[in-house]
Amino acid sequence: MIRAQRTPSPADAGRRVYRLLIVDDSNIVRRRIERSQHFEDLQVVGTAGNGLDALEVFAATDPDVVTMDLTMPRMDGIECIGRMVELKPSVRILVISALADKATAVEAMERGANGFLNKPFSDRQLNEAIAELMRGA
Amino acid sequence: MLHEQELRIFVEGTTNFFEVAAQQPATLGSPYLAEVPPPLHEYTGVINVSGKREGVVYFTAPKAMLAVLLMKMQETDFSHDTMRDLVGEVANTISGNARRDFGGDFLISVPSVISGEAAAIAPKAGARSFIIPIHWRSHSAKLVVSLG
């Protein structure tokens, strides 16, 4: 599943609009993140359901921030994080995963992730994590 | 062989899922050991476990329960594909959370989903199936943990 959206319109000029890519193999989770994030200066520019598709959307949309699942078919999130950081070292990546062990979080951070949010998550937890991510973007 | 303390990990994971994702706690019945695998509901999300432990963890639920769960999650798509997506995500979340206690050697697969009429899932050799009954609103589902 790949979806890429338009770039910010000229109406957005004058203030920075952060570009968000959502990567998760669950449609429900992708829609939940898109629906629940409440930032006016954050625009969803694409979604993907696995790591390989995510790299295509990443190249096409040039996001500033990414939410990344880990357990996905075709290419998992850990490998995808490494590839994205190689392509764009300034990208900010929030891992959103059910994998709750410390070793996984450490590995994701070592590959270049900037934050880690465990599933299941509340809207408040999601928005706090995204706000933290955007502060560094 | 699953120990009582390990079974508690899955009980707590299931409790946490409903509290956070559905924003309404579920009541969990006492886990029990099944001599034969239980019959499946309409939708079942299956996670294969390998590494430190071998076996399966699956969440099986009726369509009516999943529909209400989707509503509580503000979802507007109640299609067959979304039901499949949801049971897989529930199984994945509970199994993934268990790595907090089991550690990184508790390897879990991406979810596979069984829907419609299906036979029970046979446990792996040497594994026994523990059933955790889940009661949420007026619906009942099961989490089955079968690890060697």
Q: Which residues pair with B47 in a beta bridge?
A: B57
Does residue A38 sit at the B interface (CB-CB below 8 Å)? no
Q: Are A35 and A130 in contact (CB under 8 A)?
A: no
Does residue A106 sit at the B interface (CB-CB below 8 Å)? no
Instruction: Please report the pLDDT score of residue A10 as a whole number.
Output: 44
How confident is the model over B48-69, as a mean pLDDT? Answer: 94
CB neighbour burial string for A11-30, b if at least 16 within 10 angstroms, e if fewer: eeeeeebbbbbbbbbbbbbb
Write down the H helix ranges in chain B: 4-21, 63-72, 80-97, 99-102
Token digits of residue B134: 């889940």
The partner residue sitting opposite B96, judged by closest CB among A29, A71, A122, is A71
For residue B123, is the peptide bond before it cis, meaning its omega torsion is within 30 degrees of 0? no
Disruptive mutation site among A1, A31, A36 for chain B (greatest number of B CBs within 10 Å): A31
How confident is the model over A58-69, as a mean pLDDT? Answer: 97
Q: Degrees (nearest 5) of the Cα angle B70, B71, B72?
A: 90
Name the superfamily (CATH) of residues A16-135.
Response regulator (3.40.50.2300)
Average predicted confidence (pLDDT) for chain A: 91
Disruptive mutation site among A32, A97, A110, A119 for chain B (greatest number of B CBs within 10 Å): A119
Q: How far is CA B27 from CA A111, B7, B19, B50, B114, in A?
A: 40, 16, 10, 29, 24
| A chain contacts of residue B20, beta-carbon cutoff 8 Å | 120-122
Domain hosting residue B115, numbered range? 4-147
d(CA A63, CA B122): 45
Predicted confidence (pLDDT) per residue in B61-91, tens digit: 999 999 999 999 999 999 999 999 999 999 9
Token digits of residue A75: 């290419």
Answer yes or no: is pLDDT of B42 > 70. Answer: yes
Answer yes or no: is pLDDT of A1 > 70. Answer: no
Percent of chain A residues topping a pLDDT of 90: 81
How confident is the model over A78-88, as a mean pLDDT? Answer: 98
Percent of chain B residues topping a pLDDT of 90: 74
Answer yes or no: is pLDDT of B43 > 70. Answer: yes
| A chain contacts of residue B90, beta-carbon cutoff 8 Å | none
Predicted confidence (pLDDT) per residue in A102-126, tens digit: 999 999 999 999 999 999 999 999 9
Please state the domain count of chain B: 1
Q: How confident is the model at residue B46 (pLDDT cuts 50, 70, 90)?
A: very high
Answer yes or no: is pLDDT of A6 > 60. Answer: no
CATH code of the domain covering residue B143: 3.40.1550.10
The values of phi and psi at residue B95, to 5°, are -70, -40
Residue B121 is given by DSSP the state P
Cβ of B74 within 8 Å of Cβ of A72? The answer is: no
Q: Are B86 and B1 in contact (CB under 8 A)?
A: no
